[in-house]
Structures are given as C-alpha cells and as structure tokens.
Amino acid sequence: MKVLVIEDEAALRNSIESFLREKEFLCEVASSFDEADYKIGLYPYDIILVDITLPDGNGLDLIQKIKIEDKDAGILIISAKNSVDDRIKGLDLGADDYITKPFHLSEVNSRINAILRRKKFEGSSLLKFDDIVIDLDAKTAKVQSEILELTKKEFDLLIHLVVNKERVLTKESIAEHLWEDQVDLLDNFDFVYTHIKNLRKKILRINGKDYLKTIYGMGYKFTSV
C-alpha cells in the first residue's frame, strides 16, 4: 500500500511517516503544496493524507487535483479542530474521511484501514489475526470458526485493536475512538475497561487465549500470545 503524507510540520510528518512504515505501508512525504502537487502528478497512491493548512497553498485545492489525477486514491483530511467549514468542503470535494488535530496515530491507522476496506484495496473484507477472523461486510467476528457475540461497540473495539496490534493504546485514545470527542470522558475511563474486560472474556471463553495485555497505568496492547 502506497501512502502520501502531505504535512508541513516536520515533527508531525516524521512521526506519521515512521509509524506508517512500521505498519508496512510504503510511505512518501511532501512538506509543501508544490512538492505534493509534483508527487501526485508523478505516482499513483492508495491513500493520501492532506493537511488543509499548508504554507504555500490550500489543501482543499490539492484534493481537487487529486480527484482529477488519481481518482482512486483514498483521501484523509487532517484539519484543525475548529475548521468545520474546511472539513465539510473537503468531504464535498470527495475526501473520504477527516481527522482533527491532535490525533492519535492509532486513530490514523484505523481510519486509513477503514478507507482501504471501503475501497476494497485489500481485495477482501476479511481481517485476520491469529485465531480471529473478522468479516467486515457481514459485521461478524469468529474465533476458531465460532462466532463471537459482540455488541456494536465491542466489534468496533476489536477492529481497532486488531488494526493497531502490537501497540500500546492509551485508554484515552480508545475512548476517543469509540465515543468520538463529544463525550466528556476525562473522569470516565472505566468504560474502556468495562468494554476491554467483556471482549477479553468473550474471546477467552472460546479459545482460552488472552490477547489483551494490560499495561499497568498506561493502557492496553493487543498481541499474539
């Protein structure tokens, strides 16, 4: 999978780049409008991350260009939190999703994967991890061919964990993934614990494997045993 990250802020660009490389994406970066424009014209990409605010141009204009040059590319907008207008304009122009700063890298990963699945780049709607097979079309998850009875939130959580396997996820980032940013959860991370606990129990009941490692004080990690 080929990804282009258009972000003018070096530190942010670098952390996204190294994170995506770790996730085995082929990652290219562009730090300005012109550079991005040049690269879009040169290679086809599967996913393009676009920061709306660039020093030498508006990311929205880039989205228009991408739609002309490389219309199959999935587009993920990175926008400032308060620019609702930009977000709506971006989606109208054909972007697939948006993410607001500050974001969790795990969330970027989940969003990219969701776009790829929607665009069927993977050729399959099955997501596999060890004994677990998730059918994204049928919205079912199986462990050793036995169906896991999951609530909608638990299903979302499982996908997020599988996509971000082998990574420490903080409770905050999981909470934000599950309940957006609208719910004031600063005092309420127990809910994440409740969902994690239920999911762990349901998987344990079938194959006895505990994929969900609690990293004390930090969060959780989904890892093969």
Q: In which order are the strands placed within the sheet that holds 74-79?
A: 26-30, 2-6, 47-51, 74-79, 97-100
Using the rule CB under 8 A, is 55 a contact of another protein? no
* Alpha helices by DSSP H, 81-218: 84-92, 105-119, 152-163, 171-179, 190-207
Q: Per rule CB under 8 A, is residue 21 in the interface with another protein?
A: no
How far, CA to CA in Å, does 114 sit from each of 3, 81, 191? 14, 21, 24
Q: How far is the CB of 12 from another protein (least distance, A)?
A: 5
Q: Which is nearer to another protein, 140 or 223 (CB)?
A: 223
Site map for another protein, 179-208, x if CB under 8 A?
Answer: x-xxxx-xxx-xx--x--------------
Closest CA to 153 of 195, 99, 105: 195
| Residue 206 Cβ vs another protein, minimum distance, rounded to whole Å | 25
Stretch that binds another protein, among 59-67, 69-77, 141-149, 175-183 (CB under 8 A): 175-183
Residues 2, 58, 91, 103: which binds another protein (CB under 8 A)?
A: 103
Cross-strand partners of 78: 51, 99
Q: Are the C-beta atoms of 1 and 47 separated by less than 8 Å?
A: yes
Among 17, 19, 89, 223, binds another protein (CB under 8 A): 19
Stretch binding another protein (CB under 8 A), from 60-68, 69-77, 81-89, 125-133: 81-89
Contact track, another protein, 121-150, x by CB under 8 A: ------------------------------
- Residues in binding contact with another protein, number by CB under 8 A: 41
In whole angstroms, give the CA distance from residue 21 to residue 17. 6
> Which residues, at least 6 apart from 46, have a Cβ–Cβ distance to it below 8 Å?
1, 2, 3, 72, 73, 74, 116, 119, 121
176/186 Cα distance (integer angstroms) = 11
Contact residues: another protein, CB under 8 A: 9, 11-12, 15-16, 19, 53, 80-84, 100-106, 153, 167-168, 170, 172-173, 179, 181-184, 186-188, 190-191, 194, 215-219
